[in-house]
Amino acid sequence: MQVVVLNGVNLDMLGSRDPSIYGGISLNELETQIYEWAQELTLSVRCRQTNSEGEYIGWIHDAHRDVDGVVLNPGAWSHYSYAIHDAVEILDVPVVEVHLSNVEAREEWRQFSVVADLAAKRVIGKGVDGYREALEFLAGQA
C-alpha cells in the first residue's frame, strides 16, 4: 500500500515551535519515526512538507494518481483553505487528518477544519503518535 504523508505550513519548525504544544521532536525525527512505523506495517510511505500552499495542493493532486491513502496535516491551512478542501475532495482514497495538538481545545479559530468532512478519520491531540494511528488506520483499509 502506497501512502503519502503531507505536512503543511510551519511543520518544518517542529522542535523549535512551542514544545509544550507541539512536542520537542523535529520534522526530520518525526519523518524517521513515520518511516519506521510504515516498515512495521508493511506500508510504502513518502513524507513531504512545504510552506507553499500551491505546492501542497499540487501534492494532493499527485496523490489522486499515485497513492492508496493520505495522511494530511495542513497545519493552519486546515482552518481556512478551501483550496485545500477542494483538492482533497477530488481524492478517491482514504484521507486521515492529523494534528499534533488538540485543536478542539485551543483558540476558537483553530477548532474548525475545512477538511474534517472529507477525512475518513481524524486524529487530534495525540502528538507524534497520531501519525502512527493514522498509518494503522490506512493499513487496515488495504
Q: Which residues participate in catalysis according to the annotation?
A: 22, 99
Looking at the chain, how many residues does it have? Answer: 142
- Rounded to whole angstroms, how far apart are CA atoms 64 and 31? 22
- Contact partners, residue 19, CB within 8 Å, separation at least 6: none
- Contact partners, residue 20, CB within 8 Å, separation at least 6: none
Number of CB atoms found within 10 A of residue 50's CB: 17
